[in-house]
Amino acid sequence: MIYTVTFNPSLDYIVSVDDFTLGRVNRTTKELVYPGGKGVNVSLVLKNLGMENTALGFTAGFTGTEIERGLKEWGCLTDFIRIPQGMSRINMKLRSREESEINGQGPEISEEALEELYRKLDVMKQDDVLVLAGSIPNSMPDSSYEQILARVQDRQIRTVVDATGDLLVNVLKYHPFLIKPNNHELEEIFNVPMDSRETIVRYAGKLQEQGAGNVLISMAGDGAILVAEDGSVQESPAPEGTLVNSVGAGDSMVAGFITGYLKSRSYEEAFHMGIAAGSASAFSERLATQAEVDGILEQMGWK
């Protein structure tokens, strides 16, 4: 089974405004509402690609109820912990001449709720996949990712971590199967400009020296590079298409990579599936579907 953890899931309210102007009433031309958060996005795309998974995390209030309802409607399994106070956050995405976001805070997570999550993870067994994605709420200790990976490290579970800065670096000692920094996040970790393929590959290798298995670096319109744990390096330009929505593209890449690897055990095919899924989401108003992913695989000559 694949499990995703989203500590702070959201209800994403996506509005389109033709010509947004500050200080005046703006009217939408289109609205979308659906469950969000990095791990939730991974769950949704995994399900679209035919991979059963269970979404874990914390929900609260009427927004939390709607997040769970939306995931179940999509066909995802859920096992969220309900927080009695507060409400799950609403994240607003504004599409106009530029994309803008306003992200909510979410409920306070108690030590008891966090312990309950840890106990849920204790059911995981050999060959399961655990995806930890996104930021940690201020009410939780910064070491939460480390505590989870330490708890499961002896069970031969494939762990995937999509986080930034110290949150990512501090878990490398637990040998995650996959990490997915983008080129800017790689720059922030090492304080070095990632201005060439060689530099990116070199510093991805340094993350491997610290314990990472596969390092997948997304570079938006410049494509992606995979430095795999078998020593191979895969790279590809970005597929051609019109950017519609950048939200969730990186999460979709993670879901695509997991799907490709579990189906083929090939890092090359996992890489191709990751790029196709990430691009399909970027070119669509919603998250990538199987048909959209297949279309990009064919466009790139990978299918």
Which tens digit of pLDDT belongs to each residue from 22-77? Answer: 999 999 999 989 999 999 999 999 999 999 999 999 999 999 999 999 999 989 99
294 catalytically annotated? no
Q: Is 39 exposed, middle or buried (0-12, 13-18, 19+ CB in 10 A)?
A: buried
Which candidate in 162, 230, 251, 294 is catalytic?
251
Domain map (residue ranges) of the chain: 177-303
Across the range 204-228, mean pLDDT stands at 94
Q: The domain 177-303 is classified under which CATH number: 3.40.1190.20, 3.40.50.720, 3.40.640.10, 3.40.720.10?
A: 3.40.1190.20
- Mean pLDDT over the full length of the chain: 93
- Indicate if the pLDDT at residue 17 is higher than 90: yes
263 token code pair: 């189906």
Q: For residues 295 and 276, what is the distance between their CA atoms, to the nearest angstrom?
A: 8
Across the range 265-292, mean pLDDT stands at 95
The confidence band for 174, taking pLDDT boundaries of 50, 70 and 90, is very high
The confidence band for 222, taking pLDDT boundaries of 50, 70 and 90, is confident
The confidence band for 139, taking pLDDT boundaries of 50, 70 and 90, is confident
Percentage of the chain beyond pLDDT 90 is: 81
Q: For residues 254 and 160, what is the distance between their CA atoms, to the nearest angstrom?
A: 8
Could you give the C-alpha distances from 207 to 168, 192, 202, 216, 279, in angstroms and in order? 10, 14, 9, 11, 25
3-state DSSP assignment of residue 179:
strand
The confidence band for 171, taking pLDDT boundaries of 50, 70 and 90, is very high
Q: Cα 253 to the chain's mean position, in Å?
A: 8
Across the range 127-153, mean pLDDT stands at 91
Instruction: Give the pLDDT score at 111.
Output: 92
Beta bridge partners of 99: 95
pLDDT tens readout for residues 75-101: 999 999 999 999 999 999 898 888 889
- Indicate if the pLDDT at residue 10 is higher than 90: yes
